[in-house]
Chain A
Amino acid sequence: MLLNYVRVACRVLLRQRLYTALNVMGLALGIATAAMMGLYVWHETHFDGFHSQGGRIFRIVQAQYVPAQAPIRRIETPKPLGPALAQDLPAEVETMVRVVRHAIVLRDGGTPVEDTIYLADAPFFRLFDFPFLAGDPATALAQPGTIVLTESRARRYFGSSDVLGRTLELTSGVRLVVTGVVRDLPSNTIFSREFPATLWTNVATRFQDGWDAEFAAKDTLWRDEFLQTFVMLKPGVDGGALPARFPALLLAHREGRQDIAPGLVETLELQPLTAMHTDPMAGLGIAPGALAAFIGIACLVLGIAVVNFVNLSTARASLRAREVAIRKTLGGRRGQLVAQFLLESVLLALAAGLLGLVLAELVMPRFLALLAVRLDARFLGGTSLAAAVLLPTLLVGLLGGLYPAVVLSRPRPTDLLRGAQAAGGGRLRAALVMLQFTAAIVLVIATIVMGQQTRYASTQQLGFRAEGAVVLRGLARPAGRAGLASLHDALARIPGVAAVGAAANVPNDRSEWTNNYRLPEAPDGTRDLLFRTEPVDVDYLQALGVPVLAGRVFDPARPGDVTSHAAIRAGTAGTTIPVVLSVTAAARLGLGAPDRAVGRTVVYGDSLPLTVVGVVADVQFGTARQALEGTVYLAMRDELSVLLVRLAPTADAATLAAIDDTWRRLFPDLPLKREFLDEHVRQVYADEALQGQLLALFSGLAILIACLGLFGLAAFTAERRTKEIGIRKVLGATVADIVQLLVWQFSKPVLVANLIAWPLAWMLMGWWLGGYVYRINLNPLVFALASLAALLVAWVTVAGHAARVASAKPVTALRYE
């Protein structure tokens, strides 16, 4: 019996080729999309779940709570925090590991290259289960001067992965002994994504590149937050009870004032290992909102495909009322008929699932490349994909078959023979088509709005000239600092170079130095203001091209403009340090218009007086999602690590080559890192641009699938209404009349879909735009445009069928009566 069903089912599916093809194709597209999205989302939500002690491992997060303000949470912690935790909470903390990265320079085939090494406390590989190919995880990082490499780094630097005991020499002369080789890290760990690690060494390793003393000095600095601290709690310890003890612990250890703001509470929190990737803190990892959007879109596209499937299945089935009647007359029981329809539907769904899998496997690599995600081969393996696809596919098949199976098998056979149609199907189909187009229109509107906003955000007023400027990095090392002045002068002499300035950061560098500022006349207890502090040299602001609104910027001819950390620490007896404020900083201090700010005194920290010599325009340091912060520019000798080279309009390739040559001549041991400022700035919007591309892709898919369904329905309707169309033609209807009739039938659900989609999209996009401080207004024209596009696409899809049926001779239509 089953065999008979399968045979009949195959025959039916083959005979109705158009429906079968449309059904399978639409569903396959939907399944492929959902499978890819599902896999991606699954990957993103299963970060660092594989560590055997993972349940006991937490990252320490520093949190500041000020009443009526958004809490500030950051993963950077001071160096003495980890040992203090281990010491003060011996009953709870089993072990702690601090991790910080450091740039090292070594020679790869003669040229100096920079690589990133992770300094970690010895138990790092006891906490994190990264399999060793050679060496002992328990002791590999026990001593300073050791190094653990990934397999591919070992191959790169040694040409082999069998390198235990060999040494890696840095340009500073330091030699590190290889004590372990680990397999390349899987893609679903933060040490692959957020903090890509390939080299590790003990936290006490010395590099002799100017960092050692500074790093050692931080052992006691509680105010210098720069490394990540992980703790492993003892088995059975309740992580939830610990945070209550942290404020006291911090107070006991930290020096300095706690009263930056009234009501401020500083504390620590424990972030579970598995939450690190999906917690959007510090802009790292993937935002839950983005994941939700991905899931939502995948569900939408799959939903549209499933609706297609159900729609086409029911439509197709209603043409078979006569077959059902005959089967019943011949003694077929209801259950058997239901089984037959379900089997057909499941077969169809499985075919679609298979095709979807093939599609997903084909497209997945491109999709991941677009997302710039490297997924382990084991995630791409056929079995997990297949498993993810099989069950939903079966469900879809059953769902698609259920309606026709139940409805068609119900009526008495005589009703069916007399031709009474199973009523209600038509209205359901129209409703489903409406739903599909609602989803598609919302996606189209979202695509357009996101595109507009991204373009707006990346072209808005930056506050400086991003074009025609080159950034040179890597000068933070002693050799770089020492040679900075001569490099500055040498570069300025190159024809085609207009200006050269030095700074600690250029815009979009995630600069984190903030300080408290206030006016000297402010009464005690007034809240200090927190401003970004940017160390620059005397030429930088001019080289960056920041408009001066009042007063002056720093002047190379005035040696008194320049200060240093030492001078700041010592305080100034009698003299004041000149500063330049951004217009927002001036306004927030209450200095009023830029002209009135010039000459005023501002207090830095506790008591250091600064004199405002000029006010400049705001510089957008981050994305348009962030409000402009107040910025204070200090001309300093130290901290400078980036050179900004402003090119003259006459600059060409030779100018760039001359810049590179100058660097290599002065710094034969330092890797050259040159980039264009505008490209650097554009990277901020790379994520947005990517989201836009993805959205465009998926709204295109959604519309395509919806149209596949509409196409099938139009074909079905045209077929079903053949007789009616024949009659209408006999009565004098022209081809145009008939086309109009059919097109209108399918325009109605699309029109209604617009009415639903508009408010939905309006709300959704309003919410999305709310995340931007600088944003476009929603334009009703966009909505009209999306609707018109949907309607046009629907018309084109339907009109072909309508015209074909309408232009057939009426006698052909009536003959089959």
Chain B
Amino acid sequence: MLKLVDLTKVYRTEEVETTALNQVNIHIKQGEFVAIMGPSGCGKSSLLNIVGMLDNPSSGQYWFGDEDVAGYGERKLADIRKKNIGFIFQSFNLIDELTVFENVELALLYHDIPARERKERVKEALAKVNIAHRESHLPQQLSGGQQQRVAIARAVVSRPRMLLADEPTGNLDSANGEEVMNMLTELNGEGTTIVMVTHSMPHAQYARRIINLFDGQVVAENLRAA
């Protein structure tokens, strides 16, 4: 599915140069559930941004399918991204001014899908995360767990091949966290590749494989027994 070869990301400000990722090599297969762990500042988010094509690497190769997208421009990346990748964020990142339904529908608006089909798919996605009854509410009117479920619905409604989750349970209590993890597992069972950054060891245990990052380098990979 994707292969990172000697991937390096360097941030430059006026005075300091920070190496966020240093010669990272990772190979993720179709249908895998991978958790990325590591202390704050180890490069987890940078890695996820590059994998999610929200950012370009400074050097190295990023093979997505049989394309090296490392040097692709904004427009091309956006195109690949919207067809293949869904996102879940720690802070949900729902748009305050839009209702639950509209937030989820937003993901389809950029896909040239007719209105009727959009409506069906949004309803389906909302039903899947058990939030259909709240579709006309605004995000502020929902609890954190409910908001994250909307975010998941939004991430999957476009039927991406890969789901990237950045600390999806970070802002949730344990019961809601469990629920979110169960949903991710279910999605993975249906064939979606999932890459998740997390601080939580229990939640990382849901993944098949855990990659540990430290100072921008992969320090350990543990394969969990199926």
Pair A731/B106 contact, Cβ less than 8 Å: yes
Neighbouring B residues of A807 by C-beta, 8 Å: 74
Among A97-105, A151-159, A635-643, A732-740, which stretch is in contact with chain B?
A732-740
Q: Which of B54, B82, B106, B111 has the most CB of A within 10 A?
A: B54
Neighbouring A residues of B158 by C-beta, 8 Å: 731-732
23 A-B residue pairs with Cβ-Cβ distance under 8 Å, sorted by A, are A421-B96, A723-B95, A724-B95, A726-B93, A727-B106, A728-B106, A728-B110, A729-B78, A731-B87, A731-B154, A732-B78, A732-B79, A732-B110, A732-B158, A733-B78, A735-B75, A807-B74, A809-B54, A809-B55, A814-B54, A814-B89, A814-B93, A817-B91
CB distance from A321 to the nearest CB of B (A): 13
Whether A789 is near chain B, meaning CB under 8 Å from some CB there, is no
Nearest to B94 among chain A residues (CB) is A727
User: Cα distance A817–B96 when bound, in Å?
Assistant: 13
User: Cα distance A732–B87 when bound, in Å?
Assistant: 11
Pair B89/A734 contact, Cβ less than 8 Å: no
Beyond A420-B140, A810-B54, A811-B55, whether A733 also contacts B110 by CB under 8 A is yes
CB distance from B153 to the nearest CB of A (A): 13
Nearest to A729 among chain B residues (CB) is B78
Neighbouring A residues of B82 by C-beta, 8 Å: 731-732
Pair A732/B107 contact, Cβ less than 8 Å: yes
Chain B 7-32 near chain A by CB (<8 Å), digits 1 or 0: 00000000000000000000000000
Whether B49 is near chain A, meaning CB under 8 Å from some CB there, is yes
Whether B81 is near chain A, meaning CB under 8 Å from some CB there, is yes
User: Cα distance A807–B74 when bound, in Å?
Assistant: 8
In the complex, given contacts A729-B78, A732-B79, A732-B111, what are 10 additional A-B residue pairs having Cβ atoms less than 8 angstroms apart? Answer: A420-B140, A724-B97, A726-B93, A727-B106, A730-B54, A731-B158, A732-B82, A734-B75, A811-B49, A817-B91
Neighbouring B residues of A732 by C-beta, 8 Å: 78-79, 81-82, 107, 110-111, 158
Nearest to A737 among chain B residues (CB) is B110
Pair B55/A735 contact, Cβ less than 8 Å: no
Q: Which residues of B (119-152) have their CB < 8 Å from a CB of A?
A: 140
CB distance from B136 to the nearest CB of A (A): 18
Neighbouring B residues of A737 by C-beta, 8 Å: 110
Nearest to A810 among chain B residues (CB) is B54
Neighbouring A residues of B97 by C-beta, 8 Å: 724
Q: Which residues of A (789-817) have their CB < 8 Å from a CB of B?
A: 807, 809-811, 814, 817
Pair A809/B107 contact, Cβ less than 8 Å: no
Chain B 77-109 near chain A by CB (<8 Å), digits 1 or 0: 011011000010101011111000000001101
Neighbouring B residues of A731 by C-beta, 8 Å: 82, 87, 106-107, 109-110, 154, 158
User: Cα distance A785–B97 when bound, in Å?
Assistant: 35
User: Cα distance A451–B16 when bound, in Å?
Assistant: 62
Neighbouring B residues of A729 by C-beta, 8 Å: 78
Pair A817/B78 contact, Cβ less than 8 Å: no
Total A residues in contact with B, Cβ cutoff 8 Å? 21
Chain A 703-732 near chain B by CB (<8 Å), digits 1 or 0: 000000000000000000001101111111
User: Cα distance A318–B58 when bound, in Å?
Assistant: 37
Neighbouring A residues of B94 by C-beta, 8 Å: 727
Chain B positions near chain A (C-beta within 8 angstroms): 49, 52, 54-55, 74-75, 78-79, 81-82, 87, 89, 91, 93-97, 106-107, 109-111, 140, 154, 158
Pair B93/A817 contact, Cβ less than 8 Å: yes
Neighbouring A residues of B52 by C-beta, 8 Å: 730
Neighbouring B residues of A730 by C-beta, 8 Å: 52, 54, 81, 87, 93
Closest 9 CB pairs of A and B: A732-B82, A732-B110, A811-B54, A731-B107, A811-B55, A724-B95, A811-B49, A727-B93, A733-B110
Neighbouring A residues of B89 by C-beta, 8 Å: 814, 817
Nearest to B166 among chain A residues (CB) is A814
User: Cα distance A195–B97 when bound, in Å?
Assistant: 67
CB distance from B119 to the nearest CB of A (A): 17
Neighbouring A residues of B54 by C-beta, 8 Å: 730, 809-811, 814
Nearest to B83 among chain A residues (CB) is A732
Neighbouring B residues of A733 by C-beta, 8 Å: 78, 110
Q: Which residues of A (441-472) have their CB < 8 Å from a CB of B?
A: none
Neighbouring B residues of A734 by C-beta, 8 Å: 75, 78, 110
User: Cα distance A728–B103 when bound, in Å?
Assistant: 10
Pair A727/B95 contact, Cβ less than 8 Å: yes
Pair B74/A809 contact, Cβ less than 8 Å: yes
User: Cα distance A728–B94 when bound, in Å?
Assistant: 10
Q: Which residues of A (736-761) have their CB < 8 Å from a CB of B?
A: 737
Neighbouring A residues of B154 by C-beta, 8 Å: 731
Nearest to B93 among chain A residues (CB) is A727
Nearest to A726 among chain B residues (CB) is B93
Neighbouring A residues of B110 by C-beta, 8 Å: 728, 731-734, 737
Chain A 648-672 near chain B by CB (<8 Å), digits 1 or 0: 0000000000000000000000000
CB distance from B40 to the nearest CB of A (A): 15
Neighbouring A residues of B79 by C-beta, 8 Å: 732
Nearest to A813 among chain B residues (CB) is B54
User: Cα distance A361–B109 when bound, in Å?
Assistant: 55
CB distance from B163 to the nearest CB of A (A): 13
User: Cα distance A811–B89 when bound, in Å?
Assistant: 12
CB distance from B75 to the nearest CB of A (A): 7
Neighbouring A residues of B93 by C-beta, 8 Å: 723, 726-727, 730, 814, 817
Q: Which of A421, A734, A807 has the most CB of B within 10 A?
A: A734
CB distance from A7 to the nearest CB of B (A): 27
Q: Which residues of A (760-805) have their CB < 8 Å from a CB of B?
A: none
User: Cα distance A727–B97 when bound, in Å?
Assistant: 13
CB distance from B138 to the nearest CB of A (A): 11
Neighbouring B residues of A420 by C-beta, 8 Å: 140
User: Cα distance A697–B22 when bound, in Å?
Assistant: 61
Nearest to B49 among chain A residues (CB) is A811
User: Cα distance A786–B154 when bound, in Å?
Assistant: 43
CB distance from B184 to the nearest CB of A (A): 18
Pair A735/B106 contact, Cβ less than 8 Å: no
User: Cα distance A731–B154 when bound, in Å?
Assistant: 9
CB distance from A588 to the nearest CB of B (A): 70
CB distance from A735 to the nearest CB of B (A): 7
Nearest to A426 among chain B residues (CB) is B97
Nearest to A732 among chain B residues (CB) is B82
Nearest to B55 among chain A residues (CB) is A811
User: Cα distance A644–B147 when bound, in Å?
Assistant: 90
User: Cα distance A710–B107 when bound, in Å?
Assistant: 30
CB distance from A810 to the nearest CB of B (A): 5
Neighbouring A residues of B140 by C-beta, 8 Å: 420
Neighbouring A residues of B106 by C-beta, 8 Å: 727-728, 731
User: Cα distance A727–B54 when bound, in Å?
Assistant: 11
CB distance from B172 to the nearest CB of A (A): 16
Nearest to A814 among chain B residues (CB) is B93
CB distance from A71 to the nearest CB of B (A): 63
User: Cα distance A730–B88 when bound, in Å?
Assistant: 10
Neighbouring A residues of B49 by C-beta, 8 Å: 811
CB distance from A418 to the nearest CB of B (A): 8
User: Cα distance A728–B105 when bound, in Å?
Assistant: 11
CB distance from B189 to the nearest CB of A (A): 24
CB distance from A423 to the nearest CB of B (A): 10
Nearest to B110 among chain A residues (CB) is A732
User: Cα distance A782–B23 when bound, in Å?
Assistant: 65
CB distance from A725 to the nearest CB of B (A): 10
CB distance from B86 to the nearest CB of A (A): 9
CB distance from B164 to the nearest CB of A (A): 10
User: Cα distance A727–B88 when bound, in Å?
Assistant: 11
User: Cα distance A601–B10 when bound, in Å?
Assistant: 106
Q: Which of A730, A735, A807, A810 has the most CB of B within 10 A?
A: A730
Neighbouring B residues of A735 by C-beta, 8 Å: 74-75
User: Cα distance A814–B55 when bound, in Å?
Assistant: 12
Neighbouring B residues of A727 by C-beta, 8 Å: 93-95, 106
User: Cα distance A420–B55 when bound, in Å?
Assistant: 30
Nearest to B164 among chain A residues (CB) is A730
User: Cα distance A723–B106 when bound, in Å?
Assistant: 14
Nearest to B46 among chain A residues (CB) is A811
Q: Which residues of A (278-318) have their CB < 8 Å from a CB of B?
A: none
